[in-house]
């Protein structure tokens, strides 16, 4: 914890002064372009991976980068999505999974989560992804972890479409959806191509053409 506290002091002394104008502007409001939904895993840093500054990403994090399907029961993710889309007017939504995801390991073996009942229930939102992988492979195990990670991103994109605020903006072309998987060891990012149904490497050509779409 000591290094965290000293980090605050370093931020205030060395970092903040160089970005003072930015923070002065942000002190009175925000106008992010992107809603970035990713895992709570400590190894994922959305601003580091995307090289973005404060105010550019509206970030939502939870175990497994999950988007519960819309329902009449209000939850933190539902409220945050609605606020980002309907109030802040984000024009892009990214669902970003990652390699070696503990939540996906739990989804593969839900019986091992009996001592973590809330985690087990939360990962019920990954059941569709697990079922798809099992249907394709005849079984599901840790050897299918990467496949499940990708499929989970695809299914969470489907869940996003059930949220009224998102559906409305998709219908009018004001929002685009993007599915990513971040590879921790290599730093590479794979992006879902809805035309091919495959995850493809993000490179400069990809970034410029914005292949990922709703």
DSSP secondary structure letters along 6-23: HHHHHIIIIIGGGGHHHH
Beta-bridge mates of residue 37: 60, 95
Question: To which residue do tokens 């970003």 refer?
Answer: 96
Rounded Cα distance, 111 and 193, in Å? 33
Give the residue ranges of the annotated binding site for Zn(2+).
39, 41, 98, 101
Tell me if residue 86 falls in helix, strand or coil.
helix
Beta-bridge mates of residue 84: none
Q: Is 118 exposed, middle or buried (0-12, 13-18, 19+ CB in 10 A)?
A: exposed
Rounded Cα distance, 107 and 130, in Å? 7
Rounded Cα distance, 175 and 41, in Å? 26
- The gap from C-alpha 26 to its chain's centroid, in whole angstroms, comes to 23
Question: To which residue do tokens 């989560």 refer?
Answer: 113
Give the residue ranges of the annotated binding site.
39, 41, 98, 101
Rounded Cα distance, 17 and 32, in Å? 22
Q: Which residues are CB-contacts of 195 (< 8 A; sequence separation ≥ 6)?
A: 211
């Amino acid at each position: 914890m000591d290094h965290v506290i000293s980090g605050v002091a370093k931020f205030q002394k060395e970092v903040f002064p160089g970005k003072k104008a930015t923070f002065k502007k942000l002190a009175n409001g925000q106008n992010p372009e992107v809603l970035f939904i990713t895992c709570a895993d400590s190894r994922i840093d959305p601003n580091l991976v995307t090289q973005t500054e404060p105010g550019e990403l509206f970030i939502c994090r939870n175990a497994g980068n999950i988007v519960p399907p819309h329902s009449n029961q209000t939850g933190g993710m539902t409220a945050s999505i609605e606020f980002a889309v309907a109030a802040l007017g984000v024009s892009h939504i990214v669902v970003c999974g990652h390699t070696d995801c503990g939540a996906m390991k739990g989804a593969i073996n839900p019986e091992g989560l009996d001592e973590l009942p809330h985690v087990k229930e939360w990962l019920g939102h990954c059941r569709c992804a697990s079922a798809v992988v099992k249907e394709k492979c005849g079984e599901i195990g840790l050897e299918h972890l990467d496949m499940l990670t990708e499929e989970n991103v695809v299914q969470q994109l489907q869940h996003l479409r059930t949220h009224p605020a998102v559906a409305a903006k998709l219908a009018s072309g004001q929002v685009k959806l993007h599915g990513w998987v971040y590879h921790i060891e290599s730093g590479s990012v794979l992006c879902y191509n809805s035309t091919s149904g495959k995850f493809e490497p993000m490179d400069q050509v990809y970034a410029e053409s914005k292949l990922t779409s709703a």
